Amino acid sequence: MNKILKYFIITSVTCLLAFTAYVKWKEIDNKKPTIYIDNYTGSSIEIKYRNKNWIQLKDENSIMNRDLKQGTYFLHIKNMDTSAKDTIRIDIKEKKKYVLNLFQGTSYYEGEISYQKISDPSNHTSSQEVKIDKIFFETKADFVLEKPSNNIKIWSKNKSPKYFNTSATKKYLRRVNQNW
């Protein structure tokens, strides 16, 4: 009986440690950074990573996002219409958002929008925008290349929405030619 109990305890502890390691691994795996690939070139684009096709953007002026692990990547970008090529090195850090502006096809504005009182969706204002002219950059925007919502809900710690005298500020990133 003593051997069986000892075997059971060892097996249980081993399973618990393995489960804990798995949960930590999944937690890290779920914190992948996101890269928004913006093809505003007017052409089809092919991106290779490690000499293998990684992404093909056949629709001109398309946006795609991918989750990547933290690290350094060398991407080989080819314009399928003009045969123009580019190689870019990108450094990805944990749990951040990035934009890859293929062939620097456009510029961006990053700004903030302030919401006041959830019951009054028309009561929001935008701040001064900052222009970004880069091929690859980090953004802290809540709304990346999408129109900010007209209203938001702010949840309290007890998971119920706050409706009285609440305000919040959210960040957005838009192309220069996008007017909302």
Q: Tens of pLDDT along the chain (180 residues)?
A: 688 888 888 888 888 877 777 766 665 555 678 999 999 988 899 999 988 999 998 877 788 888 888 899 999 999 988 889 999 999 998 889 999 999 998 999 999 988 776 545 455 566 689 999 999 999 999 999 988 887 766 655 555 555 444 677 889 999 998 886
Q: What is the structure's pLDDT at 160?
A: 55
CB 113 within 8 A of CB 125: yes
The answer to whether the predicted template modeling score (pTM) of the entire model surpasses 0.85 is no
Q: What is the structure's pLDDT at 174?
A: 93
What residue segments make up the domains of the chain, in order of their start?
A: 1-30, 34-104, 108-175
User: What is the second-level CATH architecture of the domain 34-104?
Assistant: Sandwich (2.60)
Structure tokens at 175: 């192309």
Tell how many helices (H) and how many strands (E) occur in the chain: 1, 13
Q: What is the structure's pLDDT at 132?
A: 96
Q: What is the structure's pLDDT at 164?
A: 45
Parallel, antiparallel or unpaired: strands 167-175 and 143-144: parallel
What is d(CA 57, CA 74) in angstroms, rounded to the nearest whole number?
Answer: 18
Q: What is the structure's pLDDT at 27?
A: 56
